[in-house]
């Protein structure tokens, strides 16, 4: 499998290396006044053009981020598909008079001119079904205008993965302040990038997604603008992929 991490601005570098089966974007959310937390403009058009016709993009962000940028995604040609909530074991408490935030959102977008049924989407399952019954899940009547969809959940068999996913953050062993858990990135890669396909990581940070690709047999190209972080990320990829025999 190919694993490559570029140092530089993803707006210039990443579109040259596609087309991608899946794009992962974990940009600075712009929620705080910290120097590194500045929203990045002008990357959505290049990402759209670098995607395969069957591709989609998963974007990490806070609710504040998506409320501020939703119209920008739409104007750049992206359509909302679904979102998941990553529930973490720790969180941020920016304000003592609000809830401590222990979750982040990950939203999947696909091109406005694509058909959802053409988008690669291998919904993941969990093997933890317990009831001794067979259930046929059908759309409830109030979702009548959504395309037909049905699945069967059997005793002990697989269940569709839930949209709220609990996973410990990488806090304590991370090399990046906002590093995402590899196991969560694995789920996204398995769902939206075919085996042997190419995942493009627009804001690579620690390149945790590179590890996820190594584990799941996907090719990986990432880009990180901070040269020191990019070096750390490359060292991480070398050690983890070497350990995995790749």
Ligand X SMILES: C[S@@+](CC[C@H](N)C(=O)[O-])C[C@H]1O[C@@H](n2cnc3c(N)ncnc32)[C@H](O)[C@@H]1O
Task: Please report, as ranges, the residues that interact with ligand X according to CB under 6 A.
Answer: 9-11, 26-28, 40, 176, 178-180, 203, 205-206, 208, 223-226, 229
Q: Which of 21, 58, 38 is nearest to 221 (CA)?
A: 21
How many CA atoms are closer than 13 Å to the CA of 243, on its beta-carbon side?
A: 7
DSSP secondary-structure letter at 144?
A: T
Q: Which is nearer to ligand X, 42 or 156 (CB)?
A: 42
**Residue, CB closest to ligand X:** 205
Task: Give the residue carrying structure tokens 């990357």.
Answer: 43
How many CA atoms are closer than 13 Å to the CA of 82, on its beta-carbon side?
A: 12
Q: How many residues does the structure list for the chain?
A: 246
Q: Which is nearer to ligand X, 26 or 114 (CB)?
A: 26
The Cα diameter of the chain in Å comes to 55
For CA atoms 199, 205, 207, 212, the dihedral sign is negative
Q: Give the shortest CB-228-to-ligand X separation in angstroms.
A: 10
Distance CA 65, CA 85 (A): 14
Q: Give the shortest CB-115-to-ligand X separation in angstroms.
A: 29
Q: Give the shortest CB-10-to-ligand X separation in angstroms.
A: 4
Q: Give the shortest CB-185-to-ligand X separation in angstroms.
A: 7
Q: Give the shortest CB-188-to-ligand X separation in angstroms.
A: 11
Name the token pair of 182: 């590899």
Q: Give the shortest CB-222-to-ligand X separation in angstroms.
A: 9
Q: Which is nearer to ligand X, 102 or 174 (CB)?
A: 174
Q: Which is nearer to ligand X, 69 or 206 (CB)?
A: 206
Task: Give the residue carrying structure tokens 């991370």.
Answer: 174
Q: Which is nearer to ligand X, 114 or 220 (CB)?
A: 220
Name the token pair of 175: 């090399």
Q: Which is nearer to ligand X, 8 or 131 (CB)?
A: 8
Cβ atoms of residues 44 and 11 within 8 Å: no
């Amino acid at each position: 499998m190919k694993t490559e991490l570029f140092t530089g601005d993803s707006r210039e570098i990443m579109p040259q290396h596609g087309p991608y089966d899946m794009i992962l974007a974990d940009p600075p959310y712009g929620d705080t006044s910290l120097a590194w937390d500045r929203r990045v403009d002008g990357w959505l058009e290049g990402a759209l053009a670098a995607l395969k016709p069957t591709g989609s993009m998963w974007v990490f962000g806070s609710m504040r981020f998506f409320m501020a940028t939703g119209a920008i995604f739409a104007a750049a040609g992206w359509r909302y598909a679904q979102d998941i909530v990553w529930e973490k074991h720790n969180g941020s408490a920016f304000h003592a008079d609000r809830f401590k935030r222990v979750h982040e959102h990950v939203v999947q977008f696909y091109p406005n001119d694509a058909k959802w049924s053409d988008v690669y989407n291998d919904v993941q399952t969990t093997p933890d079904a317990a009831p001794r019954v067979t259930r046929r899940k059908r759309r409830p009547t109030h979702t009548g205008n959504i395309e037909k969809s049905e699945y069967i959940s059997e005793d002990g068999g697989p269940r569709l993965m839930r949209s709220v996913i609990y996973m410990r953050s990488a806090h304590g062993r991370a090399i990046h302040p906002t590093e995402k858990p590899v196991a969560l990135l694995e789920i996204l890669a398995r769902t939206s990038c075919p085996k042997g396909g190419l995942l493009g990581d627009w804001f690579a940070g620690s390149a945790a997604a590179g590890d996820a690709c190594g584990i799941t047999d996907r090719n990986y190209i990432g880009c990180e603008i901070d040269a020191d972080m990019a070096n750390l990320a490359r060292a991480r990829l070398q050690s983890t992929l070497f350990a995995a025999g790749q």
